[in-house]
Chains A and B, each alone.
Chain A
Amino acid sequence: MADPAVKRRSALFEIYRTGEFGDLVKGKAGVSICERHALSIIQVAAWKDQTDAVIATIEVAAGIKPSAEPCSAISSEDISAIWLGPARWLIVEKETRDLHAVIGADVTADMAAITDQSHSRCVLRLSGPQSRNVLRKGTTLDMDPGHFAPGDARTTSLFHMNALIHCLDEETFDIYVARSFGQSFYEVIIHAAAEYGYQVADRI
């Protein structure tokens, strides 16, 4: 944790403007966009023979139990554990503590490699009845409810950018892209959302 006087500066710092835009239907936005910032994003990559132990230890240390199920995510109000690959997860929460240290205290180097990726992603939350249609414009994944359901998390090409999409509920998605793509990503998302009317909300 840095000097609290120095605020983390998001990749969207220069361009993020809250408000309602595009073709609102009777004054209502079809999709709501907000940036999740500032986050702690910790990658845990377990040694294969330590997978079960690491899952159990993360649960105790961080308060979320990752799932070994491919393309899945476990989330609570405050924290998510998103499957990235065999024995590999991202643990994500709003930055309130040194999550890297918290996990690293219990998950030792002989159990897993832990890498801080907190600054490496630009994360947008899309919600609302048109959120799936916005995503359908950028990916060929099956975005129908029931085929991309709450608790699913997939890595795919989204608007030509590598993205991790986490479905939180029927109409809500967290989308992780590389930080350097942040501005391009934000621009293309609001462009795609304009025909449905969109709201840009305060960061959460």
Chain B
Amino acid sequence: MATQSNRLPGGGEIDRGKPLTFRFDDKTYTGFQGDTLASALLANNVKLVGRSFKYHRPRGVFSAGPEEPNALVHLRSGDRQEPNTRATMIELYDGLIAESQNRGKSLRNDPQRINNLFKAFLPAGFYYKTFMGPFRNTRLWMFIEGFIRKSAGMGAASGLPDPDHYDQMSRHCEILVIGGGPAGLMAAKSAAANGARVILVDDRADPGGQLRYEQYEIDGKKGLDWINETVAGLEAMDNVFILRRTTAFGYYDHNFIGCVERVCDHLPEPEGNKPRQRVWNLQAGHVVLATGSHEQPMVFGNNDLPGIMLAGAVRTYVNQYGVVPGKRAVVFTSCDDAYRTAIALHDAGTTVVALVDTRKLDSSYAQQLLDRKIRIINDSAIVSAQGNADGVTSVEVHSLSGGGAQRLDCDLVAMSNGWAPALHLFSQSGGKTAWDADRNIFVPGDSKQAECSVGAANGNFSLKTCLEEGSAAGAMAASSTGFNTAVQAVPAVSEIHESAYEPLWECPDPAKGHPKKFVDHQDDVAVSDIQLAYREGYISVEHLKRYTTLGMGTDQGKTSNVPGLAIMAEARGCSIPEAGHTTFRPPYTPVSMGALGGAETGEHYMPIRRTAIDSWHEEQGCKWIDAGIWRRPRYYPQSGETIRDAFIRETGMTRGSVGMCDVTTLGKIDLQGPDTAEFLERIYINHWMKLPVGKARYGMMLREDGIAYDDGVTSRMSENHFVMTTTTANAVKVMANLEFYLQVIWPELRVQVTSVTEQWSAIAVAGPNSRKVIQKIVDIDVSNEAFPFMGASGCVAAGIPGCRLFRISFSGELAFEINVPCDYARYVCEKIYEAGREFDIVPYGTETLGNMRIEKGHVAGPELDGRTTADDLGLGMMMSKKKEFVGKRLAYRDSMTGENRKKFVGFVPADGKTPLKAGAQIVVNENAAPPVEMIGHVTSTGYCVEHDHPIGLGLIRGGLDAWKDRVVYMSYPLRNIIVPMKVVSPVFVDPEGERLHG
């Protein structure tokens, strides 16, 4: 087991008493509680952690935060393996397993590192150019493309189902503070002082931000102590809710913020029933963005070698984790910030060979370096680095004013080209970024939503201004959401005024050669690629981004966007703000699909509606089918039966004796009030005023444009009380429509509508023996004389009072429909089944239900397809000429009437046996050359059991008048099927309706 050779004996926030064992690429290491995977790897002097996207160049840990472009690993193994996780954000746990990605068998000897030798042939856009060359669309291209795809890229998903679960949660607050650094904590403290609800979101295990790795004192105490006190104070308040390990990834309209909490990612496996991650949907009155800033890298030759890191990250590893990532360091900077890294490294015992400063000025920290005998090389830049997969070995330094070049041996380069405010969320909120020419940074411009940025996110990097801005913003946010303000006093801090930052966006080339100067490390985009894009005309930053993939990696260009567009500005000879800034889009950092999916997977994917007789169907061995979100029995197979066998048997037994079917899913609407009959007159095409009490009637509704909308049976239970049924599919829409007419169009009508679909279970009993069965169940006389066709009555059923009986039929047989309050439905269902046993009663499902209505020529969903009129469906006679109704005016337009409309007919295959196909086109000629005119289509198909042949329903131009008994062709070009069929009446059974009335 490797020792932690780079670990300091003391210092940092790690617990040396709690060693943790972990594995990276087949080697076992130890780290300590409090480490990240990156800090533990660095402690063990592991420099090479990955291979680059395109050239497979060796890469090491680059940063210490969410901006990490290089140290992306497969975390965990087996079905928990997750690709592209950032080692800098992974909290170490005992037994952690990680593997490097985008490599061959071995990271060190990755065979694809030869790509680097061909880098001249793999510039930006080379892949796009393969689309144009002579080999485009050839087998050769297809062959090579496979290799390109394989060599490019990132980690791989495990391909196995994720064993963990995820969750979503919502919360509201007056003030949402994003970022728990000094500015955010101060904002939360002052916002919460007078009772406003405050949510503080921080992406680390513990808030604190920069104070966890800087050496400031606040109020005479260590910065960390101030943090702990402040956090404890906030936690004690009822109105403050702190979300740790939570990243705000998206800022949406109406101050709606999406966050992801890594609930159990710091553990080997989620505890108990806890989700692994949880998405938080936060709704805030005011948002305080205290998201900090990202340090920007220097762009020089071979700046991607392992051991070349951001200076702030190096300081973090030293101060927070007690790790020195090298023995001999060169610090390279254009700002004062990195001086503190030089001091921290020196004080930790590392040899700081030199600090190279691009500026001519004396830094505010210069004296502190001189005191430590650290050499400062002003007005100079590193122009190239040398090294190999084990890391950087030396750097070449040039004066920027010409002259002196020197080589410095080192194994660590800490670089800083200043800090860029993290504007991602601000930009997502709709705000436009603004260029601050004095400070050479993009800062938040005008707000579009109720938000403000504070501290480093606002371009103010000093600790004092962070605290001041935080306090003021918290108070302002509280007052803007209706709470009294109390600006919290800002504690005194120890820091010195820093001298001005003067960025150097691109370092000059060395005297010999043009080594690659990387801008976007994750996507292997170098300065030469940006210049190529410029030469090829992709000068807009948005084109630049897409052509070179600059900033399109999982790090979203946190360390590459600003240098990239500065280099483009330089090439164009314009200013940085003229070159502009690309748009930030969610997510700020990658979010796993599992978290976005939340708990809605597997059996919880969507809710299922079950009828009250659901369990009985299951016991009868039904096969289920989804009908919208209802589940309904499709058929009840007996041993060895296919679905076709089953529905033919169910149809035959029902027509031969009696069958029963659960029709609960039909919409049921209760209408009450003195104007109900009048209301029905207006929404249905037929008459209702004179419908007697105790009678049902079939009704058809049109849309306002005259197209057939929905149909069903409505019954008059008493003078002013009706019960309407709708199709299953339109139940909710019709209900909403009725409410709309009553509330908006005819508020003067005294009618109340209530959905009672859920109150009543409905069981249809059909067949010549249905009366005998029903008479055993209900307490009313159901003889033809006492209860004729279309009768409707209250009844007691199987001893259950308050039931309803209707003599209506969808099958065309003598039939009844019994409605039972749901809690009694299973009981009554069983009683009906028992009563029917002597008649061999058969339960039938939607397959038979559909087949029998096709045999009877009733229209349903496939015919009510949003294109047909009542007349097309053979129901034109129902349309009253004597009254107004919804859709009437538009139903009589020229195009909606006339001989050439496609009208409802039936079909029989000419050979009497070939099955017909729903959706097939109808043509007049068997062998016509395309284009072939389509004169109609088959809507529904079934099997007529009585006549023992397949049947179909459909729409054909001119209808029965034009085509009766003529042969047309059913064409199904996808399967190359042509079937001659005869056009017949759509009513295949009992055309006179004798059974219904018998």
Contact = CB atoms under 8 A, between A and B. Distances in A.
A178 B821 contact: no
Interface size class, chain B: 35 or more
Interface in A102-129: 109-110, 112-121
Interface stretch (B349-357, B605-613, B782-790): B605-613
Contacts of B642: none
Interface stretch (A71-79, A138-146, A164-172): A138-146
A2, A9, A45, most chain B CB atoms within 10 A: A2
A112 B674 CA distance: 11
A191 interface: yes
B615 A22 contact: no
A197 to B, nearest CB: 9
Contact of B823 (A10, A109, A144, A147): A10
Interface in A158-194: 159-161, 178-185, 187-188, 191-192, 194
A192 B165 CA distance: 11
Contacts of B583: none
A8 B823 contact: yes
A186 B309 CA distance: 53
A22 B599 contact: no
Interface size class, chain A: 35 or more
A9 B612 contact: yes
B281 interface: yes
Given A8-B824, A14-B615, A191 B599 contact: yes
Contacts of A178: 609, 758
A195 B611 CA distance: 30
Interface in A45-95: 45, 47
Given A9-B824, A144-B172, A180-B609, A137 B758 contact: no
Interface stretch (B268-276, B499-507, B849-857): B268-276
B630 to A, nearest CB: 7
A20 interface: no
Contacts of A116: 759, 802, 821
B606 A160 contact: yes
Contacts of B275: 195
A159, A184, A187, most chain B CB atoms within 10 A: A184
Interface stretch (B228-236, B556-564, B749-757): B749-757
**Interface of B (DSSP majority class):** mixed
A7 B759 CA distance: 16
A11 interface: yes
A10 B822 CA distance: 9
A141 B827 CA distance: 39
Interface in B669-698: 670, 672-674
A118 B821 contact: yes
A192 B599 contact: yes
B170 interface: yes
A3 B171 contact: no
B169 interface: yes
B826 interface: yes
Contact of A195 (B171, B273, B821): B273
Interface in A1-59: 1-3, 6, 8-11, 13-14, 22-23, 38, 43, 45, 47
A108 B758 CA distance: 24
Contacts of A112: 752
Contacts of B802: 2, 116
B720 interface: yes
B273, B756, B824, most chain A CB atoms within 10 A: B273
B824 A2 contact: yes
Contacts of A1: 801
Given A13-B615, A119-B823, A188-B599, A113 B673 contact: yes
Nearest to B822: A119
B47 interface: no
B214 to A, nearest CB: 36
A137 B607 contact: no
Given A2-B801, A191-B604, A22 B273 contact: yes
B252 to A, nearest CB: 12
A72 B298 CA distance: 62
A6 to B, nearest CB: 6
B167 A137 contact: yes
B713 interface: no
B672 A115 contact: yes
A9 B823 contact: yes
B28 to A, nearest CB: 32
A38 B823 contact: yes
A141 to B, nearest CB: 8
Contacts of B172: 142, 144, 147
Contact of A137 (B283, B599, B759): B599
A2 B672 contact: no
B754 A180 contact: no
B799 interface: yes
Top 8 nearest A-B pairs by Cβ distance? A120-B758, A8-B823, A113-B752, A194-B273, A113-B672, A180-B609, A23-B272, A184-B607
11 contacts: A2-B801, A2-B824, A11-B612, A45-B752, A115-B756, A117-B759, A136-B171, A184-B609, A184-B610, A187-B604, A192-B167
Given A115-B756, A119-B823, 6 more contacts: A2-B801, A23-B273, A115-B670, A117-B756, A142-B172, A178-B609
